[in-house]
């Protein structure tokens, strides 16, 4: 088992044994312990991971760093294909397998991402998504040491993905060096590439921990639904379109000639006033308006 997964299991056990089980958030019953792990991870990231990642970026600039990123990504494509099949997403499995074959052969072992130019981009997929696809709930939210945001379901899925990795069974000279070396470089590469997005998400956040938790949970649910990102909900109440004209078309009674004497009723019914001028005050019908009697002398504020 890889060292990082041993740390993950240790962190998972610590979360279960924590006695701070009174949840501030329903999906985060171990919030107090998770926040401690989060604070420790942020401190370690500022002190060690980020500086080393910047050194790595200086040593592997431009095309070199991109080639290393492509190679590490290609090493994980078999897990993506395996989970596509387990989720019965056969069309995606075909595309992802074609991507793996294209980059492994014509892309010189994955150093060049030629598949993306053929409309075959990389897709994130793992056994945690597979479990969610088949109706397994996420369980409590966890922030695991050395692994970051997770859930009970996703932590179990990471362990299962080990069995789906070909390097677990294939033996060849330098296998362990490639395995652990790619893991270490992958951490630095991910840290370097995700730094701008992380800073943008947490710079103005009142509670960065809660922001990261929300982003993680939403992105995982989006992957389970087969989407690349969480959907953007439309506004709850779209404003109604303005009327084409403030003056309504003349009705059938418009052709009648109004009597010259003001003693005859000249107040239109309330619905006519409402349609004629949307901003006019609502008129209240009086008995004289219904019976055809002369209007009272009370001023209606017209």
pLDDT one-digit tens code per residue, 144-181:
998 999 999 999 999 999 888 888 888 888 888 888 89
pLDDT of 80 > 80? The answer is yes
pLDDT of 265 > 60? The answer is no
CA angle 75–147–209, rounded 5-degree value: 135
Q: Give the chain's mean pLDDT.
A: 78
Most confident of 179-183, 211-215, 245-249: 211-215
Q: Higher confidence at residue 26 or residue 107?
A: 107
pLDDT at 179: 86
Q: Given the structure tokens 């030629």, which residue do they identify?
A: 114
pLDDT one-digit tens code per residue, 26-66:
789 999 999 999 999 999 999 999 999 999 999 999 999 99
pLDDT of 290 > 80? The answer is no
**C-alpha pair distances (Å), 20 with each of 15, 34, 154, 195, 220:** 9, 10, 22, 31, 26
Q: Higher confidence at residue 135 or residue 274?
A: 135
pLDDT at 277: 52
Upper half-sphere CA count for residue 184 (Cβ side, 13 Å): 9
Region 215-235: mean pLDDT is 75
Look at 98-107, 166-175, 214-223, 271-280 and tell me which has the smallest mean pLDDT: 271-280
Upper half-sphere CA count for residue 89 (Cβ side, 13 Å): 23
Region 220-225: mean pLDDT is 94
Bridge-partner residues for 28, per DSSP? 25
Region 71-80: mean pLDDT is 96
pLDDT of 20 > 70? The answer is no
If 0-12 CB within 10 Å is exposed, 13-18 middle and 19+ buried, where does residue 264 land? exposed
Take residue 283 and report the two structure tokens written for it.
Answer: 């008129």
pLDDT of 138 > 60? The answer is yes
The residues near 39 (Cβ < 8 Å, ≥ 6 apart) are: none
pLDDT at 298: 44
Residue 65 neighbours by CB distance under 10 Å = 19
pLDDT at 269: 53
Look at 85-89, 130-134, 279-283 and tell me which has the smallest mean pLDDT: 279-283
Predicted model pTM:
0.67
Q: Higher confidence at residue 179 or residue 286?
A: 179
Q: Higher confidence at residue 163 or residue 285?
A: 163
pLDDT of 244 > 70? The answer is no
pLDDT of 278 > 90? The answer is no
């Amino acid at each position: 088992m890889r060292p990082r997964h041993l740390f993950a299991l240790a962190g998972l056990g610590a979360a279960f044994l924590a006695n701070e089980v009174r949840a501030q958030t329903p999906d985060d019953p171990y919030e107090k312990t998770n926040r401690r792990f989060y604070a420790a991870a942020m401190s370690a990231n500022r002190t060690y991971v980020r500086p080393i990642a910047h050194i790595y970026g200086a040593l592997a600039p431009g095309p070199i760093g991109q080639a290393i990123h492509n190679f590490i990504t290609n090493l994980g494509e078999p897990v993506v294909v395996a989970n596509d099949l387990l989720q019965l997403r056969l069309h995606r499995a075909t595309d992802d397998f074609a991507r793996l074959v294209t980059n492994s052969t014509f892309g010189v072992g994955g150093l060049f991402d030629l598949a993306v130019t053929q409309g075959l981009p990389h897709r994130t997929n793992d056994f945690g998504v597979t479990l969610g696809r088949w109706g397994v709930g996420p369980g409590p939210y966890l922030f695991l040491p050395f692994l970051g945001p997770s859930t009970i379901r996703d932590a179990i899925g990471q362990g299962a993905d080990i069995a789906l990795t070909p390097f677990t069974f294939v033996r060849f000279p330098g296998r362990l060096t490639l395995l652990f070396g790619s893991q270490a470089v992958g951490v630095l590469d991910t840290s370097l590439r995700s730094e701008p997005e992380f800073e943008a998400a947490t710079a103005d956040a009142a509670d960065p921990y809660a922001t990261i938790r929300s982003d993680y949970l939403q992105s995982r649910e989006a992957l389970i639904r087969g989407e690349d990102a969480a959907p953007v909900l439309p506004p709850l109440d779209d404003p109604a379109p303005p009327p084409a004209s403030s003056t309504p078309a003349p009705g059938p009674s418009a052709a009648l000639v109004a009597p010259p004497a003001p003693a005859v009723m000249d107040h239109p019914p309330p619905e006519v006033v409402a349609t004629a001028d949307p901003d006019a005050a609502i008129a209240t019908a009086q008995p004289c308006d219904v019976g055809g009697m002369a209007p009272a002398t009370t001023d209606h504020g017209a």
